[in-house]
Amino acid sequence: MSESPSLRDAPLFASVDGQTLQRLTRDSKVEYFHDGATIFRQGDRALCVVVVLDGYVKLSSTSACGDETLVNICSIGESLYEALTPDGENYRIGAEAIGEVCAMKLSAARFRDALRDSSSLCGAVIAEASRKVSALIGEIESLKGLNADQRLARFILSLCPPGEDSCCIRLPYDKRLIAARLGVKQETLSRSFARLRDVGVRTEMRDVLVESVPRLAAECFGDNAASADRRETADSRDTVA
């Protein structure tokens, strides 16, 4: 695993004053989790606010009949504060490590106390909530307005380094989770990967070569998007609502 960033690098805490940050990190713990390890379970008492220092964490909700719904996938620098119930007493969703994960656990009780006392932390939490709501709106718009090919293209483009005309990237997690995040079935995702070969996207396991980033963006979101919509019609019933 790469060198872990400090808590200050997490967006939630970037603008928090030093005194509050010291208060929050008092008795904090850094823990490492292997792939598939449970970080906390839905319904458990919320003893900690978790911040991801390295790796990816899956947040999911489990229904009474045992069906699991992917809520979000969090990465380096993100807090899992949204996992707490409004009263902060329990976790309303569960968290599981995707690959190797390093996370910092802050006392939930101390966090709530600091939230009452620190205007900088309170403002940071509001800003973080606004950012995550904006991201959620973007995901909903993607699910409602884009076909499977476009959703996959958008996901791949989000992984491409800024300013690069071509690049080779590694998918951050397996295709099963990517399908769940994009709201499609795995077989639909496989067909979308195959169709994106026509616009210069080559895959080998989790490695993806994008021959032309501008072409991928133009083909999937430009004038040719209508033809992609027609190709997608056959897969429409494979899309998860």
Which H, E and C letters describe 87-105, residue by residue? Answer: CCCEECCEEEEEEEEEEEE
Other Cβ atoms less than 10 A from the Cβ of 106: the count is 24
Q: Checking DSSP bridges between strand 94-107 and strand 29-33, what pairing results, if any?
A: antiparallel
Residue range 112-160, pLDDT digits in tens: 999 999 999 999 999 988 988 898 898 888 888 899 999 999 999 999 9
* pLDDT for residue 116: 92
Residue ranges, the chain, pLDDT below 70: 1-5, 222-241
Tokens coding 116 = 């009452």
Of 141, 106, 138, 145, which Cα lies nearest the Cα of 16? 106
Of 142, 160, 169, which Cα lies nearest the Cα of 213? 160
Tokens coding 1 = 């695993």
pTM: 0.81
Domains and CATH numbers, the chain: 7-142 (2.60.120.10), 146-238 (1.10.10.10)
* pLDDT for residue 238: 52
